Structure 1
Amino acid sequence: MTVPTTKLNDGREIPQLGFGVFQVDPDTTADKVQAALDVGYRHIDTAQMYGNEEGVGKALASSGIPRDQLWITTKLDNDGHGRGTAAERLDQSLTRLGLDHVDLYLIHWPRPAEDRYVETWQGFEDARDAGKARSIGVSNFQVPHLERLAKETSTVPAVNQVEFHPQLVQRELREYHQQHDIATEAWSPIGQGKGLLEAPELAELAGRTGKSPAQVVLRWHIQLGNIVFPKSNNPDRMKENFEILDFTLSDDDLAKIEQLHTGERIGPDPDTFG
């Protein structure tokens, strides 16, 4: 099954469907990532904050998959802001991952109260120019944060990874991304099991398509153009999450799912977190 890709503003192609390791136990990460690679995933999303980059690296090293067939993302920990520190932390990540570069390096949170994300972004530009991060982006940035980067630096982020699911559809942010050619990555794409998948609308679509509610939501993301990396510790669920490329939702279906929007966040408020 061929995973669709999205072309980033730097010209590189990123797989739309990947495997995330948020809250995966460091002691079991290598096994979980290997199971995901066996299913067919080639895009792995980790972070310094997760504490499991080393496990990801072990799985990559033992997989035998050529490096140019993999897309590896990591993110800067919140205590690593600053131009020089951001680059140093990437070097540490590369050591843990056993790689000479990552495909995508993200500022994990803007931490606006600290007010260092602009200089941190300059460190990301340095890492890209040194070849240690092929693409650079941000995570959990709001429109004002993106506007400031646009005014004070020379690089538009390739992606912005944000909380995004049918109950939080990020309309203003999506519009900004479209206007400025920033790809949208969705974390918690199926709502972290907090009731979203029990919605009657999703049950109806699942019954009609012969898919699960989770598969319907992940397909909605793909058709919107989002990049998603659902996490699961269960190999059967990993396989189910991967099997979303053999059906299509109609425009009416997409609109029905978007009507589930409530505006409520599962995670922290980016304007105050950190």
Structure 2
Amino acid sequence: MTHYEAAVLGLVQGLTEFLPVSSSAHLRIAGHLFPGAQDPGAAFTAIVQIGTELAVVFYFWNDIRNIGAAWLRQAIGRQHDPQDAHLGWLVIMGSVPIVVLGLLAQDLIETSLRNLYMTAAMLIGFGVVLGLCDRLGRKVKTLPDLSWRDGMIFGLAQAMALIPGVSRSGGTISAGLAMGYTRETAARYSFLLAIPAVFGSGFYQLWSSWNHSGPTLSVTATATAVSFVVGYGVIAVFLRMISAMSFAPFVIYRIALGGLLLLLLQERLIPPLS
């Protein structure tokens, strides 16, 4: 992989990570646009996501600092903000499903689940789910309404993003809408919930692949840096966008992309696995 190809993949990652369209699916597909087309791999995808997650940390720094401080103060028995401490515990609890399933299904995640037929099916299927949840959800609940039950449902929804095509934000936002949360609340909590999972997965893959074949460290760093810069801008635009419009454009896009991918696979223009 060249630095130019890595920059393009970083751009794709930054543009799609926070939208409910599945960044892992886009990276999986984008790898076929270059000479010697091939899957960038689950490890490369996880590492590059560190860049977009750093964008989340910078964008939501005040929220993260307040939640972390309140959680720590509660843990050591000091005076604290109960709502922020509660959010801290929910983020920890909600991260458990994706960690457990990620470790148990690691071989499947890196092989069979990256089959492009599966990716196409998830793009279409969860596009329909997102559309139904957005249309039928009550959209009245906000972060103070977040219960332990809701937090675990958010966590289980996030874990489904281990399958390319589901979308981390798409899965958690759909779950939030189905439970009656506003679009912006579901999106903001989705971003916060992803922080431990993405950093954990990214640094684990970075350590695991250190001495293995694959993209060089400098190439991966290029993609990660580009994804950070682009992702930071996308967060602000996306949060403003969903406060004024529905998720219908993303639903249409997901279904169209999934259909196009199925057509390309049927015509054998790209292989389902590489």
The TM-score with structure 1 as length reference comes to 0.27
Q: Which has the higher strand share?
A: 1
- The structure where helix makes up a greater share of residues is 2
Using CA pairs below 8 Å that are at least 6 residues apart, which structure has the higher relative contact order? 2
Could you state the TM-score of these two structures normalised by the residue count of structure 2?
Answer: 0.27
